[in-house]
Structure 1
Amino acid sequence: MTQSSPAWDPDRYLTYADERGRPFLDLVGRVAAVDPDVVVDLGCGPGNLTSLLADRWPAAAITGVDSSEAMIRAASDSSAAERVSFHRADLRDWLAAAEPGGVDVLVSNATLQWLPEHLDLVPALVGAVKPGGWLAFQVPGNHDEPSHTLRAELAAEPPYAVHTAGVAAPHAHRAEVYLRALQALGCEVDAWETTYLHVLHGEDPVFTWVSGTGARPTLQALPTDLRARFEDELKARLRAAYPDDGHGVVLPFRRIFVVARTPA
C-alpha cells in the first residue's frame, strides 16, 4: 500500500476472502522453491494469505509487511501470527532498507498496483532476492471494466469532483511489460493472465467488492454528507452494469501474474 493510502478495513476486505485468495494460490503454485529460508510477503493485508506461505514452507522464516496499521493489527491478532512475523512498513521503505539478496522468495499479491511508479521498483525487488531465488507478484488488470470506470466517471462529476481529484487509483501494466523488464535484469520469467468469473450474491455485491479495494480511496475522500449520496448512485450504476439474473452477479476479473527466477 502507498504512504497516502486510505484506512483499509480488514473486515470489508475479507468479505470475499475465497475469491480474493484464488489468485494468490495460483501465483504461489508456480513458485518452485523447495526449501527456502526467508520468505517475505509485501502487502500482506490481514495475513490470511500469508499464513498459506507458512503451510507451504513450514521451516522458513515468514514475514508479512503492510503499510496499513489496521491490516497489520488484524494480522497480528490472527492465528497466523503464531507462525508469521508481521511488520508495518511502506513497501518502498522496506525495499530501501532490505539487505541485498536477503530473501529466498519474495511475494507481492495485489499491492503493486497502488504504486504508480512500481515498474521502476522492479530492479529493487529483484535485488532483494538472492541469486537463484524467486520473485512472484500479481496485480489486477481489470481497470477498464465498469467496476472501475463507473466509479471514476461518477467521481469526476459535480459535486464530487472537487473532493476526489487526485485520489489514489490502481494501475497495472500488460504482462509483457513486466516480462521484458525482468528479462532485462537476467531473470527467467513466467508471465500470464487469467480472467476469473466470480459469481457474487447478496445486496449490491459488486459495490461491496469494490468498496473494500479499488473504490475505497474515492469513498474516503468524500465528506460524510456526500459519501452516502455517492454510494447510492454508484450502487445503481453497478446494478445496471452487473445484473443479477437469479443465479448471482457475474464479476469478470482479469489478473496479471509474474513469477521470476533471479539469475544465479
Structure 2
Amino acid sequence: MHSWSPEQYLQFEDERARPFVELLARVGATSPQRVVDLGAGPGTLAALLRERWPDAEVTAVDSSPEMIARAQDVPGIRAVLADARTWEPPAPVDVLITNAALQWVPGHLELLPRLAGMLAPGGWLALQVPGNFEEPSHTLRRDLAAQGPYASHLDGVAVPSSHDAEVYLRALQDLGLVADAWETTYLHVLHGPDPVFEWVSGTGARPTLQALPAELRGSFEQEYRAALRVAYPDQGHGVVLPFRRVFAVGRRAD
C-alpha cells in the first residue's frame, strides 16, 4: 500500500488548483445545502467551496489518512476518511465535486451511476481527471518500470487512467443528467532542479516509487530523473510541462 504526502502534493499548489477553479466555475448551484468534495486530498480546495457557499455544509472525503489529517485543519469543512467507492452521504447532495481523483479508481465509469444517485433534485455532479497519460511523464515511468530489476516489484502497482471528454459526456447523459464536457491543456512553467520529477513524485509516480525496495528506489529515481530532464528541458525560462485535463459537469432535473 502506498501513502500520500500533503507536503509533496502542495509543492505545486497553484498549478494543481487551476483545474478545480475552472471546474467550479461551471457549476451553477446558487444556494446548496450539502456540498461534497470526493477525493479532496488535503482539503485546501474544499475551502474554496466553503468560500463560494458559506451557508452550505461542506464535506471533504478522502481515503488517505495523511490527507485527511491535513484536511481536518481546514476551517469550516468536515473531513471524512472514506473510500470513494463505498462512501455514502447521510442525505442527498446538492453539489458533488470530484477533482483529480477518479483516475485512481479502476473502472471508475461504473462508479458514476452511484455518484449521480447521491444527487438531490437539481443537484450537480462535476468531475475533472488528468488526460495526459501518454505524455513522457507517464510513458517514461512505465517503460522504466517494465525493465530488469524493477519489474518484479511493480506488478499490480496502482497506476492512474482516464477517458476522453466525450466518454464522460455520454456517460452523464445516459444517467439522465444535463451534461457538458470539455478539455484544457495547461502549459505549466516549473522551476527548480528536476521539477517534473518533483511534480510526478507527489501524484502519478508515487505508488511506483513506494513499491520499490530501498536498494532499487535510488537507481530508479536516478534513471527517471535523467529521462525527464531530456524530455522536459529547461531552455532558460523554466521547464514547460504540458498537462491535459478532462472535465465534465452534469445536473439532475429538478
TM-score (normalised: structure 1): 0.95
* Of 3, 13, 17, the match for 2:13: 17
Distance in 1 between residues matched to 2:79 and 2:14, nearest whole Å = 22
Deviations 1:227-249 (A, max 9, x none): 01100100000000000001000
In the alignment, is residue 104 of structure 1 matched against residue 94 of structure 2? Answer: yes
Deviations 1:120-155 (A, max 9, x none): 011101000112110001000000000000000000
1:62 is aligned to 58
1:71 is aligned to 67
Moved more, 196-205 or 124-133: 124-133
Distance in 2 between residues matched to 1:203 and 1:181, nearest whole Å = 41
Point out 4+ residue stretches in structure 1 off by more than 3 angstroms.
none
CA RMSD of aligned residues (A): 0.9
In the alignment, is residue 174 of structure 1 matched against residue 167 of structure 2? Answer: no
1:153 is aligned to 143
Distance in 1 between residues matched to 2:86 and 2:112, nearest whole Å = 14
* Of 73, 78, 87, the match for 1:85: 78
Distance in 1 between residues matched to 2:5 and 2:47, nearest whole Å = 19
Amino acid at match of 1:155: A
1:136 is aligned to 126
TM-score (normalised: structure 2): 0.98
Distance in 1 between residues matched to 2:178 and 2:65, nearest whole Å = 35
Deviations 1:14-45 (A, max 9, x none): 00000000000000011000000000000010
- Tell me the secondary structure at the aligned position of residue 160 of structure 1: helix
Distance in 2 between residues matched to 1:263 and 1:165, nearest whole Å = 44
Kindly state the Cα deviation for residue 203 of structure 1 after the two structures are TM-superposed: 0.2
Q: Is the 8 A contact 1:156 1:165 kept in 2?
A: no
1:38 is aligned to 34
1:188 is aligned to 178
Amino acid at match of 2:56: A
Amino acid at match of 1:98: P
Q: Is the 8 A contact 1:44 1:65 kept in 2?
A: yes
Amino acid at match of 1:30: R
Kindly state the Cα deviation for residue 51 of structure 1 after the two structures are TM-superposed: 0.3
Q: Is the 8 A contact 1:114 1:170 kept in 2?
A: yes
Kindly state the Cα deviation for residue 263 of structure 1 after the two structures are TM-superposed: 2.4
2:204 is aligned to 214
Kindly state the Cα deviation for residue 186 of structure 1 after the two structures are TM-superposed: 1.1
2:241 is aligned to 251
Distance in 1 between residues matched to 2:19 and 2:172, nearest whole Å = 21
Distance in 2 between residues matched to 1:88 and 1:187, nearest whole Å = 28
Q: Is the 8 A contact 1:195 1:253 kept in 2?
A: yes
Deviations 1:177-218 (A, max 9, x none): 111111111111110000000000000000000000000000
**Which ranges of structure 2 fall in alignment gaps of 5 or more residues?**
none
* Of 20, 23, 29, the match for 2:25: 29
- Tell me the secondary structure at the aligned position of residue 172 of structure 2: helix
Kindly state the Cα deviation for residue 98 of structure 1 after the two structures are TM-superposed: 3.3
Amino acid at match of 1:67: S
- Tell me the secondary structure at the aligned position of residue 85 of structure 2: helix
Distance in 2 between residues matched to 1:143 and 1:262, nearest whole Å = 31
Distance in 2 between residues matched to 1:196 and 1:219, nearest whole Å = 25
Kindly state the Cα deviation for residue 262 of structure 1 after the two structures are TM-superposed: 1.1
Amino acid at match of 2:237: H
- Tell me the secondary structure at the aligned position of residue 167 of structure 1: coil
Kindly state the Cα deviation for residue 165 of structure 1 after the two structures are TM-superposed: 1.4
Distance in 2 between residues matched to 1:213 and 1:258, nearest whole Å = 21
